[in-house]
Structure 1
């Protein structure tokens, strides 16, 4: 278990990213934002730009769509890191036809080795209907396994629903 790892989990548009940003800001440490999104269209480009504007100044941004562990290797203990988000990262891994289990092992190893305080955001995707295609079903299963492993390694797990935090593990 990595004590300084917080997992923030919730549904799409649940307010989890905004809550995670506020939580990271509360640490009072220099902030690093590890971005996993890739802009493949104008809508996503605009969404990424809006997220950057909302964060405001004071955040160092590291864009790492496939290997977020690389963004963690040189960080000292006096940093607060927000990885947003594990779901987008897993999508990138699967679209690159990489092995999600191996990539997850690498991610968890990097999280465990990083001395900084880390908050990672992820989506809960298992509460909806069974997807109608094989890729979506493989993704849902891989996301569930990733979330279980992240929660096991985290010292704190917070579920966010309608912008409200619900502590599942650890203390705030």
Structure 2
């Protein structure tokens, strides 16, 4: 089973930079699993910031959906994988067209996280997988139902991943704190 690390923190906390350093130490053949979809100029700018920081040798896998397949593909030819980020992946799942009840959304997210964890567990032991996620539950209660559901689902997804992870870090003001 591969080593699994979860890195969490707030917006612009330094979590992605910290996670990039972790994978750079963990391996020479590095894969980057990108979950973002570009729908506007703001997201295009954010994605470009991440792209500019990554070494050209890192192989990027675009995986806004079915990221467990990208994990499997990357894990058989790389020794370190950076998954950035879980909460963007979660928003892709929530905004996927189709009518779902709240209970179905919770179950879909639980299953999606279970699939990611199962994919990591199937990878060789010499592989390290670092997941980046946002801590979205520390602020005020959102005013609309979708934002509250997103916050709740992100918290539950983060708990599920943290439980399965070997190591968990919280990054605050650019400083990592090891929680597990």
Q: Same fold (TM over 0.5)?
A: yes
Q: Structure 2 length as normaliser, TM-score?
A: 0.87
Name the CA distance, whole Å, in 2 between partners of 1:72 and 1:78: 10
The answer for the alignment partner of 2:18 in structure 1 is: 19
**Separation in 2, partners of 1:154, 1:128:** 25
- C-alpha separation in 2, matches of 1:128 and 1:32: 32
* Alignment match, 1:81: 81
Give unmatched runs, 5+ long, in structure 1: none
Q: Distance in 2 between matches of 1:159 and 1:101?
A: 22
Task: Judge conservation of contact 1:3–1:154 (CA < 8 Å) in 2.
Answer: no
Tell me the SS of whatever aligns to 1:71: helix
Residue 112 of structure 1 is matched in structure 2 by: 121
Unaligned runs of 5+ in 2: 99-104
Pairing partner for 1:168 from 156, 175, 179:
179
- 8 A Cα contact 2:30 2:78, kept in partner: no
Partner residue of 1:45? 44
- Hey, which of these two has a bigger chunk of helix by percent? 2
1:131 matched to 2:130? The reply is no
Number of the residue aligned with 1:102: 111
DSSP 3-state at the match of 1:166: strand
Residues 70 and 3 of structure 1, relative CA distance in 2, 3 Å threshold? closer
Helix, strand or coil at the partner of 1:130: coil
Structure 1 or 2: more strand by fraction: 1
- Cα distance in 2, alignment partners of residues 141 and 53 from structure 1: 32
Cα pair 1:156 1:168 within 8 Å, conserved:
yes
Query: Structure 2 vs 1, CA of residues 57 and 78 (structure 1 numbering), >3 Å: closer, same or farther?
Result: closer
Instruction: Give the distance between the partners of 1:106 and 1:36, measured in 2 at CA.
Output: 15
Instruction: Quickly say closer, same or farther: Cα 1:54–1:33, change in 2 above 3 A.
Output: same
**Contact kept? 1:32, 1:62, Cα under 8 Å:** yes
- How far the C-alpha of 1:49 sits from its partner, in A, is 1.9
The two structures have a TM-score, normalised by structure 1, of 0.91
